Amino acid sequence: MTDAYTRFTRSAPGGALAKQLGLPRPSKLPRRADRPEPVLGPVVVLGGSAGADEIARLLLHWGADVRRRFDELRKIGSVIVVADEINSPSDLGPLVLPLGSAMRSLAPGARVITLSRPARGEDPAQDAARGGVEGFLRSLAHEMRGGATANGVLVEDGVKLDAPGVIGALRFFLSARSAFVTGQLLTVSTDAGSRTEDDTLPLAGRTALVTGAARGIGAAIARTLAADGAKLVVLDVPGAGTELARLANELRAVPIQLDVTSAGAGERLVGVLRERGLTLDVIVLNAGITRDKLLANMTADRWDPVLAVNITSQITLTEALIEAGDVLGERPRVVSLASTSGIAGNRGQTNYAASKAGVIAFVDALAGRLEPLGGTANAVAPGFIETEMTARMPALTREVARRVNSLQQGGLPIDVAETISFLSSDEAGGIRGETLRVCGQNMVGK
């Protein structure tokens, strides 16, 4: 799903004209179908700590071509900067400046990842250095070219660098599954989770519910989770029954027609699950709507449905599933759909932004409630994604929205789906209450 401008600039005459005029020239983003291997090599591991040695050994175990310097490398696929032991801002330059001389050698679709610790509010010099890694990473992501990305993993003090959550985050950021994720830092807060035995089917043996599944991003999520080994329960409103049945037949999934805003929706969902003998290991709360209007023209009939679908239904469904007790499997994973509008706001979307900011706060609180069950809750915040909904935007607005990110193009539904699949995995058990943006580093928010 490539837009007309991008297709033009990828042609020889179009690319030459765009270069001459200084216009955006979006690069092709390799996705899983284009690059199935877990690591694009050679991969250079920078840093002299014991943690850097541990990461190098892990990559060797994955079969990667691992180097510790850039010497004599004409092309570089991936770089991991291990900054887990920096204690002063003066430690940062010697660690990252060697990457500067290698930037022009990065392959198309390359990956740069920082591994560091978050500031603790105790040691000013150490916290300044740790905070500096974040600023470095976010700025570096704006400088990447050729579809390359830069992301960071923040590992809480006391969590080892070989913890499942760290390994899972590295696996995701290094792979082509993170094609539209850049300039982001993801925190691993605990050692919880378990290593994925088969990284080709990370959700094997798990049952996943996807709400709003009949079309668009929801259908892409369902297909991706199924491809990763999950058994699917797909849910949508009765009005989408035809599309839902078609998807259920395609994926051999269990379809449920239900309005998530109706009274007793959670209890009815629990009843259907019990009738079918199903327990849910993964819950993807994707159902959402928009009713845009400036606040001066906002009315209750536009405000109330957006809040009801986008956040209130998430609260009532999860409450019903948790209280039922017998319909949640071990290590439950909840992944909710937020939005960059909930982070930075958006003109004409006070209702939508309120609902999506609510989602971000909701998963943070829900993560604590699920922790005793060995579970997690996280959110994914898409930016501009090429869907039927965004295709109906005014042409100029749509074109601007595509270009105001570091990758200079819109994302695809598969990009959101791949991120959700990662957060649904066993390896993501140490990632709790996080909101991961899938926006190409949209130039709003952070």
Q: Which residue has the tokens 């982001």?
A: 184
The closest of 182, 202, 157 to 415, measured between CA atoms, is: 182
Do 282 and 333 meet the contact criterion of CB atoms below 8 Å apart?
yes
Going by C-beta distance under 8 Å and a sequence separation of 6 or more, which residues neighbour residue 211?
218, 235, 236, 260, 284, 285, 286, 287, 313, 317
Other beta carbons less than 10 A from residue 94's beta carbon: 11
Distance CA 333, CA 374 (A): 9
Q: What is the largest distance, in Å, between two alpha-carbon atoms of the chain? A: 66
Residue 340 DSSP one-character state: T
Q: Provide the token pair at 338.
A: 């937020």
β-sheet bridge partners, residue 363 = none
Do 129 and 92 meet the contact criterion of CB atoms below 8 Å apart?
yes
Distance CA 412, CA 179 (A): 10
Residue 320 has phi, psi (to 5 degrees) of: -65, -40
Distance CA 45, CA 116 (A): 13
Q: Provide the token pair at 201.
A: 């089917």
Distance CA 378, CA 367 (A): 7
The closest of 323, 330, 351, 331 to 339, measured between CA atoms, is: 351
Burial of 307 (0-12, 13-18, 19+ CB in 10 A): middle
Q: Provide the token pair at 309.
A: 């679908």
Q: Per the residue annotation, which of 5, 172, 173, 352 is the catalytic one?
A: 352
**Distance separating the N- and C-terminal Cα atoms of the chain:** 27
Q: Provide the token pair at 350.
A: 């006070």
Confirm whether 5 is a catalytic residue.
no
What are the residue numbers of the active site?
Answer: 352
